[in-house]
A = this chain, B = another copy of it.
Amino acid sequence: MAVTIKDVAKKAGVAPSTVTRVIHDSSIISQKTKDKVRAVMEELNYYPNLNARSLASKKNSIIGLVFPDATDAFYQNPFFPTVMRGLNEVGANSNYSLQLTTGNDLTSRLNSVQRMIHGRQVDGLIFLYARKNDPILEFVHQQKFPLVVIGKPAIENIPFVNNNNQQMAQDMTQYLVEKGYNKIGFIGGDPEQQFINDRLLGYKEALSNANIEFQEDWVYNDLSFLPEVGYELAQHIAKEQDFDAFVVADQFVATGFKEGWNAVSETEIPVITFHSFHMHENANFSSDPYVNINAHELGKGALEMLLEVIQNQEEETERVFQRYVDHEIIG
């Protein structure tokens, strides 16, 4: 059998409650006792049983991660590993573990989240996506369970960490305008995703500011986030339209778009896009400008915020949690 707190207590000649206090480095325990107990813990190779701890203390030090539908092409985006690295970093430093919600469809994902909450498995949840109608988000919110959304939640007063997608797209579009381009197209994505709509808004705003008359057919939306989608679209557009440049809302689509364009056209097409990671650190590799969406910071910030939300909940103070991470155009 594994070594328990009782074994340590007996060998150290103290009470189990004293051992607990030493483990948590309680300030009321004498240094002498601490040293003695710690020596015994080391000697017996003691590790606390986390299930017992959670049961007794009603805290888990585990955070649940809610992913989008696995069928969603968005899931394939390199955005995710980078976000995870950010979450990971904070988790390791604060001794929180990360647990995944499982399930490929809405029903099983909701089940998984309910299990986590009702089963007292996690202390809080982070949503790695934001979409318009999300029964899972609604459920968690209605339970008043601590959560943070990465992205822009469709419900008011929910803590979130996000890019300022509208401002980003506006800056990017303006960047193209300043380069002298006039007829600038917008390649979107899944309009259920909030960030797509925000980027579209920013794009329109920039055109308006530049006194360029926006036209509905400059926007290509309702697309999957896949390179081949961009590829086909580009071939289509290149032959029939006379755009000067494009704002492309997704990195993968942009990759395909460039390739598709080059396959049928002699002239290069200027494109600006959003990157979730530095695929192109080598300046020679791709000269297109982009904005880094700073997925690492989103992950890091989300978990940091959630830990505050959890603490805040205990203190029952009223605070609003929301944060936009900085961005910058890499030209």
A135→B145 CA distance, assembly (Å): 38
Chain B residue numbers with a CB within 8 Å of A60 are 51
Chain B residue numbers with a CB within 8 Å of A286 are 259
A89 sits at the interface (CB 8 A): yes
Chain B residue numbers with a CB within 8 Å of A104 are 85, 88-89, 92
A121 sits at the interface (CB 8 A): yes
| A92 and B108 contact, Cβ closer than 8 Å, known pairs A75-B81, A232-B282 | yes
Nearest-CB residue, chain B, relative to A65: B100
A277 sits at the interface (CB 8 A): yes
Chain B residue numbers with a CB within 8 Å of A115 are 47, 50, 97
Chain B residue numbers with a CB within 8 Å of A50 are 115, 119-121
Binary interface encoding of chain A residues 27-69 relative to chain B, with 1 for a CB under 8 A from any of its CBs, else 0 = 0000000000000000000011111101100001010000100
Nearest-CB residue, chain B, relative to A91: B102
Partner of A280, one of B62, B100, B227, B284: B227
Asked whether B49 lies within 8 Å of A119 as measured between CB atoms, the reply is: yes
Asked whether A97 lies within 8 Å of B88 as measured between CB atoms, the reply is: no
A70 sits at the interface (CB 8 A): yes
Chain B residue numbers with a CB within 8 Å of A51 are 51, 54-55, 60, 119-121
A80 sits at the interface (CB 8 A): yes
Asked whether B100 lies within 8 Å of A100 as measured between CB atoms, the reply is: yes
A98 sits at the interface (CB 8 A): yes
A76 sits at the interface (CB 8 A): yes
A23→B99 CA distance, assembly (Å): 24
Asked whether A119 lies within 8 Å of B47 as measured between CB atoms, the reply is: yes
A320 sits at the interface (CB 8 A): no
Binary interface encoding of chain A residues 280-293 relative to chain B, with 1 for a CB under 8 A from any of its CBs, else 0 = 11101110000000
Please list 25 pairs of residues, one from A and one from B, whose beta carbons are closer than 8 Å in the complex, sorted by A's number: A47-B119, A48-B119, A50-B120, A50-B121, A51-B120, A52-B55, A67-B88, A70-B85, A70-B89, A75-B81, A75-B85, A76-B78, A88-B102, A92-B103, A92-B108, A97-B99, A97-B116, A98-B100, A99-B100, A100-B100, A226-B279, A227-B279, A227-B280, A228-B279, A232-B282
Residues of A within 8 A of B (CB): 2, 47-52, 54-55, 60, 62, 67, 70, 75-78, 80-82, 84-85, 88-89, 91-92, 96-100, 102-104, 108, 112, 114-116, 118-121, 226-228, 231-232, 235, 252, 256, 259-260, 277, 279-282, 284-286
